Amino acid sequence: MRLGRPQPRPAPQVAPQPAARQALHCTGPLRWRSLAHTYETDILRLRLDAPGLDTREQWHSLLYAVLEGAADGLEISRADIDGVVHSGADGRSGLVLFDTVPGGAGSVLRIAGALDTVIATAVRRVASCDCGLETSCYGCLRTPRNERHHEDLSRGAALTVLTSLNGLASWAEPPGA
Ligand SMILES: [Zn+2]
């Protein structure tokens, strides 16, 4: 590496701006877009077949129940873990949990090793909440970070799936699968 006085950067090329009148008359379709960036972290993929797991609402309800169960049951900060509903190459849906800390903090690895505790805690949480079974609240499934799914989340749906799960050890795919 050569050290020396920093050189002034060339002035950025400025693209010509569209006329203001054009910008005011957008007629294209509106679509949700998620902004994202890439980073490496630990992930845990969970695949399961259980009664009551067909719709997006049911999958999201299960996802956030599992995350809350992991946070409560294993004393992991909820901000350190998150997850998505993901379709595999075979078209089957599943859950992917991940550490939000770049590089991974080992949280999802702990979840993989203690799924029974995670599920038991999730069942207790969704079974004991005061909100209606057909909905959810910040005491069971909702957080500020899953706000876009709030209308989908039903603690009754989560409870149905969680209580039907058996053989939890077979959920988790081994790392690298
Ligand atoms: Zn609730």
Domain limits of the chain?
43-166
- Separation of 133 CA from ligand 1 center, angstroms? 8
| Distance from C-alpha of 160 to C-alpha of 154, rounded to nearest angstrom | 10
Query: Which residues are registered as beta bridge partners of 98?
Result: 43, 82
| Distance from C-alpha of 90 to C-alpha of 63, rounded to nearest angstrom | 20
- Separation of 160 CA from ligand 1 center, angstroms? 15
- Separation of 141 CA from ligand 1 center, angstroms? 6
10-residue block means of pLDDT along the chain (177 residues)? 52 57 74 84 88 88 97 97 90 92 93 94 95 97 95 95 68 50
Where on the phi/psi map is residue 158: left (φ > 0), alpha (ψ -120 to 50), or beta?
alpha
C-alpha dihedral, 135 to 144 to 34 to 151, nearest 10°: 10
Q: Which has the closest alpha carbon to 43: 6, 10, 88? A: 88
pLDDT at 57: 93
Q: What is the pLDDT of residues 103-133, one digit of tens each?
A: 889 999 999 999 999 999 999 999 999 999 9
Buried b (16+ CB within 10 A) or exposed e, 49-74: eeebbeeeebbbbbbbbbbbbbbbbb
- Separation of 155 CA from ligand 1 center, angstroms? 7
Cβ neighbours around 154 below 10 Å, total: 23
- Separation of 107 CA from ligand 1 center, angstroms? 25
CA distances for 134 relative to 53, 56, 91, angstroms? 15, 15, 27
Where do the DSSP E strands lie in the chain? 43-46, 81-87, 93-99
pLDDT at 169: 43
| pTM metric for this prediction | 0.75
- Separation of 4 CA from ligand 1 center, angstroms? 61
